[in-house]
Amino acid sequence: MLSVKNVYKSYGHLSVLKGLDLEIKKGEVVSIVGASGAGKSTLLHILGTLDSPDRGEVVLNNTNVFNMNSQALASMRNENMGFIFQFHNLLPEFTALENVCIPGFIGKKNEEQVRDRARKLLASLGLSGREEHKPSQLSGGEQQRVAVARSLINEPAIVFADEPSGNLDSKNAQELHKLFFDLKDQFQQTFVIVTHNNELAEMADRKLEIVDGVIAK
């Protein structure tokens, strides 16, 4: 479904990715581990088309994404990809419900349908009654569940998560991890998850390690 081929990325003299290849299949959960600075976030941003490689291809459903114009790429990203980040995840001035709806509103969808789906997602994540709360009025685990709901609002083919449980205590982390695998079992949701959490990394269908700018064999 999504692949990168022979991807290189440098920052000045620092070569981070050095000819990396990776293919992600529909319905699988892939974890990416590696030392701090190994290039995990860099790779996730390239897979998510938020950043472009210096060399190499990113192919989504047989389309080389960087051959698309930036508008087409942005709408492809919004329709097909969901993102969960560790920090600065939710917009603080918006309610939980609004945060979940925002990527849905971008796609010129019917607003009432987006709100309805957002409410259902929040309810399914145990956040009924919290729709009108601002992020600062929610616990860390609740905020992260709102971020999961937001990542799913457009029924994306693939969800990218960068240290999704890095901020959570072990109980909340375990609940979040269970949620990912419930979504995989129920909806064949595809995930690419960067994590330092060994338990989560081991639960994945495939655990990949970045060493020296490539996926370790």
Residue ranges that bind ligand ATP, judged by CB under 6 A: 11, 14, 16, 34, 36-42
Tell me, what amino acid is at 164? Answer: P
Helix 96-106 vs helix 140-152: crossing angle, to nearest 10? 20
CB closer to ligand ATP out of 42 and 95:
42
49 binds, among ligand ATP, Mg ion, none (CB under 5 to 8 A by kind): none
Compute CA distances 217 → 39, 189, 204, 211, 214, whole Å: 16, 26, 17, 9, 9
| Residue linked to tokens 């960068």 | 162
Max CA-CA distance within the chain? 51
Taking CB under 5 A as the binding criterion, the range among 37-45, 77-85, 131-139, 172-180 that sits at the site for Mg ion is 37-45
CB closer to Mg ion out of 68 and 215:
215
CB of 121 closer than 8 Å to CB of 186 = no
- For the CB of residue 4, give the shortest distance to ligand ATP in the complex, in Å: 14
38 binds, among ligand ATP, Mg ion, none (CB under 5 to 8 A by kind): ligand ATP
Phi, psi dihedrals of residue 95, rounded to the nearest 5°: -75, 170
Q: For residue 179, give both structure tokens.
A: 């949620």
CB of 35 closer than 8 Å to CB of 48 = no
Residue 41 makes contact with Mg ion by CB under 5 A: yes
19 binds, among ligand ATP, Mg ion, none (CB under 5 to 8 A by kind): none
The helix (H) or strand (E) run that includes residue 99 is: helix 96-106
36 binds, among ligand ATP, Mg ion, none (CB under 5 to 8 A by kind): ligand ATP
Question: Binding residues for Mg ion, how many (CB under 5 A)?
Answer: 1
CB closer to Mg ion out of 10 and 75:
10
- For the CB of residue 151, give the shortest distance to Mg ion in the complex, in Å: 17
- For the CB of residue 181, give the shortest distance to ligand ATP in the complex, in Å: 23
CB closer to Mg ion out of 10 and 41:
41
CB neighbour burial string for 46-85, b if at least 16 within 10 angstroms, e if fewer: bbbbeeebeebebbbeeeebeebeeeebeebbbebbbbbb
CB closer to Mg ion out of 86 and 95:
86
Site residues (CB under 5 A) for Mg ion? 41
